[in-house]
């Protein structure tokens, strides 16, 4: 059982910074921040969950069934992540590529302390066993000293896959498409640094300040960190309504207003980008239909261009009404991994990209989110993210793009560099 407390905040922005700093004393931290985007229908502006009462950590084998058991047994708020490699639990697939990060395939925990921010109101849900600690915690949070973001990383970034090799692999993917093996594949590459130390909170703050995305997240699981500036929602459940918002289609921003408007218009009319997006929308519609009431799957928005600080993105919104008596974890299991990070047909695409990519994706292109006690949930897509294993002193970020029959390897490579720009800037300066 939980004790609920509500507090009005004088300066929400400052309190959020102090709250994240205060959270670092704990081994288990999930921070989610919508950066005040109103158009994505997030229930909260920001959420912090800390200090595990119980937890589940597992590899991919039977992972969704274990998560279902854990969610049923807690009947409480749980927070955590699904790594991309849970695909091996859903289908007869493997992940044998190099892994420099060694994150568990799945991790969720039941927090002792939970902070939910909406506007200037803070709602606090503490387990009864620690409810009397709130007043002292609030004082401690408000006394956290905010230092200027002057921490310099100076990280030396290496490419796991060099440009010529990337071109050759894209050509192989296009050959698969011409043979009819697949229609589209999301092909990713890793950038990394070894023997490297970073300040996770300061690095996250820099990344978030550059991008200010609607699905930002910070995760700490002991010595492993995710610093994410994700613009993409994977899936949300509100009562019996399911919402998925795949992204396919990216264009750079311009500081010149007229040029920026032109770039946005060109993206909205780009035949290749629209075809990429529509293929993934069809895949998402098919995935949602597995647990939806017949005839309830609807495309609410098709190929709408949203503008973020770094890029323009083409986003579609697909909704469905859930069939009666469907377990919430079953919705995740039947839609995972998200189509925007695989390709179509999904299984064939996953087999081919596993053979061509050099790095195990792990948490990259997986998902971070939470379940409520009522079984609702909200999960992002882990892209535009930095991953850090503090003990191994290994830093990594990956980027990718959709390869279709009309793909130009050079343009695809340039799109990867656009997506990588924020992470590289944060790590090298």
352: which 2 tokens? 């081919």
Catalytic, 145? Answer no
Separation CA 2–CA 161 (nearest Å): 49
What is the secondary structure of 150-162 as a DSSP string? --------EESS-
Q: Scanning the structure block, which residue is given the tokens 């218009």?
A: 265
Separation CA 187–CA 97 (nearest Å): 14
Separation CA 73–CA 66 (nearest Å): 11
73: which 2 tokens? 């047994």
Of the candidates 206, 248, 333, 419, the residue annotated as catalytic is: 248
Separation CA 346–CA 362 (nearest Å): 18
Report the SS3 class of residue 107. Answer: strand
25: which 2 tokens? 């004393």
Beta strands in 20-169 (DSSP E): 28-33, 46-58, 78-82, 106-118, 121-127, 158-159
Catalytic, 232? Answer yes
- Which of 402, 377, 375 lies closest to 276 in space, CA to CA? 402
Of the candidates 184, 202, 232, 357, the residue annotated as catalytic is: 232
Distance (Å) of CA 75 to CA 69, 242, 283: 10, 20, 31
- Which of 11, 377, 429, 401 lies closest to 169 in space, CA to CA? 401
Active site residues: 232, 248
């Amino acid at each position: 059982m939980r004790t609920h407390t509500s507090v009005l905040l004088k300066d929400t922005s400052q309190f959020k910074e102090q709250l994240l700093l205060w959270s670092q004393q704990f081994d288990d931290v999930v921070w989610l921040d919508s950066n005040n985007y109103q158009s994505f229908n997030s229930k909260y502006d920001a959420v912090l969950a800390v200090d595990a009462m119980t937890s589940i950590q597992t590899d991919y084998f039977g992972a969704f069934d274990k998560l279902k058991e854990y969610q049923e047994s807690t009947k409480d708020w749980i927070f955590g992540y699904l790594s991309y490699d849970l695909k091996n639990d859903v289908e007869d697939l493997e992940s044998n590529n190099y892994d420099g990060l060694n994150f568990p395939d799945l991790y969720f925990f039941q927090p002792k302390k939970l902070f939910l921010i909406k506007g200037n109101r803070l709602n606090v849900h503490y387990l009864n066993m620690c409810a009397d600690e709130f007043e002292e915690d609030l004082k401690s949070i408000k006394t956290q000293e905010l230092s200027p973001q002057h921490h310099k990383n100076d990280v030396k970034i290496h490419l796991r896959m060099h440009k010529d090799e990337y071109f050759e692999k894209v050509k192989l993917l296009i050959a698969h498409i011409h043979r009819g093996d697949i229609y589209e594949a999301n092909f990713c590459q890793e950038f990394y640094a070894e023997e490297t130390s970073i300040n996770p909170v300061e690095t996250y703050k820099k990344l978030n300040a550059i991008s200010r995305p609607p699905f930002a997240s910070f995760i700490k699981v002991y010595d492993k960190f995710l610093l994410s500036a994700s613009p993409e929602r994977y899936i949300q459940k509100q009562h019996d309504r399911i919402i998925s918002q795949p992204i396919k289609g990216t264009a750079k921003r311009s500081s010149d207003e007229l040029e920026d408007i032109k770039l946005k218009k060109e993206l909205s009319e780009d035949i290749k980008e629209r075809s990429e997006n529509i293929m993934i929308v069809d895949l998402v519609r098919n995935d949602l239909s597995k647990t939806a009431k017949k005839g309830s799957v609807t495309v609410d928005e098709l190929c709408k261009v949203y503008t973020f600080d770094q890029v323009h993105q083409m986003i579609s919104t697909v909704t469905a009404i859930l069939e009666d008596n469907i377990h919430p974890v079953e919705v995740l299991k039947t839609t995972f991994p998200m189509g925007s990070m695989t390709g179509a047909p999904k299984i064939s695409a996953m087999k081919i990209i596993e053979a061509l990519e050099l790095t195990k994706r792990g948490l990259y292109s997986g998902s971070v989110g939470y379940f409520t006690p009522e079984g609702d949930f909200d999960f992002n897509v882990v892209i535009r993210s930095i991953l850090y294993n503090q003990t191994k002193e290994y830093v990594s970020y990956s980027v990718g793009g959709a390869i279709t029959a009309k793909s130009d390897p050079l343009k695809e490579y340039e799109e990867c560099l656009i997506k990588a720009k924020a992470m590289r800037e944060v790590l090298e300066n």
